[in-house]
Chains A and B, each alone.
Chain A
Amino acid sequence: MNSNFKIFLKGIIDVSPLMIPVVPFGLIYGILAIDVGLSPLVAMGMSLIVFGGASQIILLQLFSGGASSLIIISSVGAINSRHLLYGAVVSEHVSDLKLVWKIIISYFLIDQAFAISNKYFKKNNNKNKYLHLVGGGFTCWVVWQTTSFLGIILGSAIPEKLGLSFAVPLTFLAILVNDFRKIINVIVILVSGLVAMFGYNYIPYKAYVIVAAFAGLVTALILTKMIKKQ
């Protein structure tokens, strides 16, 4: 088997466990989109064009709440601000690639693909390791489009009582599992989480994500510096 294809395949295999909770997430999106009154075509178009679960869910929530377009777009920007940091982390590994690959990788750079490939990039150092991210991202894309489509078709047939939306925070929790044993990470997690939770209603434009992340990173900066001095 071609070694490039092996890396691509490794990306698919590595990201697969994270796809299980994406299934209910995609279904929830589709159901919710129809529920707030989007046409099936627009709902599907959003999955294809935006391709970001958190962004799409926030968009729907604000759209149904009657928020202005400017508020919706800036909120999506705030939710997406985490991708600036993903991009900064990944850029180091893909800086030699052609523009077209950078565009493809950017489109595929979602939470799950980032989490998995970031680990892979740290351990592996061959020229074509970016294909791992392409494999992971492509897998996410197929699962997201398929489940969005099913959610749109099923509409309100799935009972809301099942609480499938709880799969969303659980997915993110599972991604952090390896960080729970490290004290600095635990403190950073608590700072970010508490800022987001208490700031949710008070920080404008749904900017709580970027504010919380910034607070967490500043905490990490201070703590790592303190430990070095000792």
Chain B
Amino acid sequence: MSDWTLIIYCGLITFLTRFSMIALLKKEMFNDRIREVLSYVPSAIFPAIIFPAIFLDNTGSIQIEDNPKILGAFIAMIVGILTRNIIATIFSGLASYWFLIFVV
């Protein structure tokens, strides 16, 4: 398969996952119960990207010791809870991460 064919397939599957529910579902198909459970979607999905990116090293093994990303993410989380500010959350995380790898 050429690079372009691969990309077009990946683009198509990306588009279809986004489009299928929008195109197929109708308003009447939602009751309060489904709505309530769906409100937990972000909490159910984002950690699946966050946790591996923080706790796993480049080879995919779990790395708990000597991992500045854990403290960086923890500080970002505390700042996030206290300030509820997106930019403050991200920058406190990046700043403490850089402090740990470049200064300490």
Q: Using a CB–CB distance below 8 Å, which chain A residues touch chain B?
A: 17-18, 20-21, 38-39, 42, 45-46, 49-52, 54-55, 59, 63, 69, 72-73, 76-77, 80-92, 94-96, 99, 102-103, 105-107, 109, 111, 115, 118, 161-163, 165-181, 184-185, 188-190, 192-198, 200-201, 208-209, 212-217, 219-221, 224
Min C-beta distance of B80 to chain A, whole Å? 4
Q: Using a CB–CB distance below 8 Å, which chain B residues touch chain A?
A: 1, 3-11, 13-15, 17-27, 30, 35-38, 40-56, 60-62, 69, 72-73, 76-77, 80-81, 84-87, 89-90, 93-94, 97-98, 101
Whether B21 pairs with A42 at a CB distance below 8 angstroms is no
| Cβ-closest chain A residue relative to B53 | A169
Min C-beta distance of B99 to chain A, whole Å? 12
Complex: A221 Cα to B37 Cα, angstroms: 6
Q: How many A-B residue pairs have CB under 8 A?
A: 260
- Pick the contact of B87: A20, A49, A111, A166 (CB < 8 A): A20
* Majority-rule SS of B interface residues: helix
- Pick the contact of B14: A52, A162, A168 (CB < 8 A): A52
| Cβ-closest chain B residue relative to A211 | B48
* Majority-rule SS of A interface residues: helix
| Cβ-closest chain A residue relative to B7 | A46
Whether A200 pairs with B11 at a CB distance below 8 angstroms is no
Min C-beta distance of A20 to chain B, whole Å? 6
Complex: A84 Cα to B69 Cα, angstroms: 30
Residue numbers in A under 8 Å from B76 (CB-CB): 170, 173-174
Whether B43 pairs with A95 at a CB distance below 8 angstroms is no
Residue numbers in B under 8 Å from A107 (CB-CB): 15, 18
Whether A87 pairs with B21 at a CB distance below 8 angstroms is yes
Complex: A88 Cα to B26 Cα, angstroms: 9
| Cβ-closest chain B residue relative to A74 | B13
Complex: A76 Cα to B12 Cα, angstroms: 10
- Pick the contact of A42: B3, B85, B98 (CB < 8 A): B3
Residue numbers in B under 8 Å from A194 (CB-CB): 51
Residue numbers in A under 8 Å from B54 (CB-CB): 169
Additional A-B contacts beyond A92-B27, A190-B47 (15; CB < 8 A): A17-B87, A21-B90, A46-B10, A69-B1, A83-B17, A86-B18, A91-B22, A92-B30, A166-B72, A169-B73, A171-B90, A174-B87, A176-B50, A176-B80, A194-B51
